[in-house]
């Protein structure tokens, strides 16, 4: 992980953990959507940056989908493991411009910003709020049930 990410993690690590699992899920899916939108926008004019953005967006989405937290579809990994994967994804995000050969292009700044945001979100999340520590979320019933007359 680059030195800037380590410094950011160390600085934010002293702050209280205030991001809940539900808020973290929202941040994860917003990041994934941002990456996927950037991939679509970059596809024609900077193919390597577009591919990198699609890779990061897909990885972020899959990490959210397989996590046992609000917004996760398949409870394959616990929330603490999700946090470790998030930290790894931030490192991959910042490394992709160099690996894909566009670190000197202005498009690499997008990946630097996203990696910084990923690190901040991962560092400020309270991973101690696992499944046992939170009340189940009640989802509204949107099915069309016939009411008895």
In the chain, what are the domain boundaries? Answer: 20-125
CA pair distance 21, 26, nearest whole angstrom: 9
If you search the block for the tokens 């990696």, which residue do you land on? Answer: 115
Phi, psi of 107 (to 5 degrees): -65, -20
pLDDT tens digit string along 126-139?
A: 887 655 444 444 45
**pTM, whole model, 2 decimals?**
0.76
Neighbouring C-beta atoms of residue 23, cutoff 10 Å: 15
| pLDDT at site 128 | 79
Contact between residue 119 and residue 5 where contact means Cβ atoms under 8 Å apart: yes
């Amino acid at each position: 992980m680059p030195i800037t990410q380590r410094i950011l993690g160390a600085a934010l690590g002293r702050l209280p953990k205030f991001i809940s699992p539900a808020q973290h899920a929202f941040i994860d899916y917003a990041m994934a959507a941002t990456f996927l939108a950037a991939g679509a926008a970059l596809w024609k004019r900077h193919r390597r940056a577009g591919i990198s953005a699609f890779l990061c967006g897909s990885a972020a989405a899959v990490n959210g989908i397989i996590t046992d937290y609000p917004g996760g579809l398949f409870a394959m990994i616990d929330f603490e493991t999700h946090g470790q994967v998030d930290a790894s994804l931030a490192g991959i995000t910042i490394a992709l411009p160099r690996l894909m050969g566009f670190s000197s292009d202005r498009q690499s700044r997008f990946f630097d910003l996203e990696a910084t945001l990923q690190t901040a979100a991962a560092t400020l999340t309270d991973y101690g709020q696992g499944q046992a520590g939170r009340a189940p979320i009640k989802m509204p019933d949107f099915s069309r049930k016939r009411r008895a007359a």
